[in-house]
Amino acid sequence: MCPDRCRPCITPRITPRIPALWFALLAAGLASTDIHATGGAHDGEYWTPLPDERLADMRGGFDLGNGLKVSFGIERAVYVNGALVTTTSLNVGALAAATSGVAPSQNAVAHSIDSIGANIIQNGKANLVQDIAGASNPIAATVIQNTMDNQAIRSVTVVNATVNSLQILKSLNFGGALRDAIGAGIGPR
């Protein structure tokens, strides 16, 4: 009966198969959708992806076998009062080729990795730092010294990680599992 008890209610009954069917259809629709990056300087045109060889040189990484490739990089940036003072980037495939970029600033002085053994940022006068080139891992060090008042100092570390797991999905027979899920969701009639 309806809440007003005047007539019997006709409400659809949702069986456990219906949500599974909707999930399977949604997954199939998302899997078949082409996704393109648009926008930017040339609105309406598609961006050209970089070849894998060029990306591999930029990211670094290693191959675990069976087609599984892992790559990551670390990038650090230091900002003083909103101005970029220095950046440091490190890729797994090229540990010896760590790069440090120094941007000019009015008050902050940044010494690169090459001269001191670490990334040293000094903001203000009368800053003193010892030579830490003999430290166990100086390339990982970023030292920020500040002797000025009311300074906005921001240090940002970004870790980029990529895993190519296409071979794993293929080995799990993802397409067959999706077909089975759709078939089980529809069921016999």
Residue 140's domain comprises: 59-163
Each residue of 86-119: pLDDT tens digit?
888 777 643 333 344 444 444 444 444 445 567 7
Find out whether 109 and 125 touch, Cβ atoms under 8 Å: no
- Residue 67, domain member (yes or no): yes
Residue 82 lies in a domain: yes
**pLDDT band, residue 19 (cuts 50/70/90):** low
Domain presence at residue 144: yes
Do residues 145 and 123 lie in contact, with contact meaning Cβ atoms separated by under 8 Å? yes
Taking the complete model, does pTM exceed 0.85, yes or no? no
Report how many domains make up the chain.
1
More confident residue, 111 or 152: 152
Q: Is residue 76 part of a domain?
A: yes
pLDDT tens, residue by residue, 160-181? 777 766 666 666 676 777 778 7
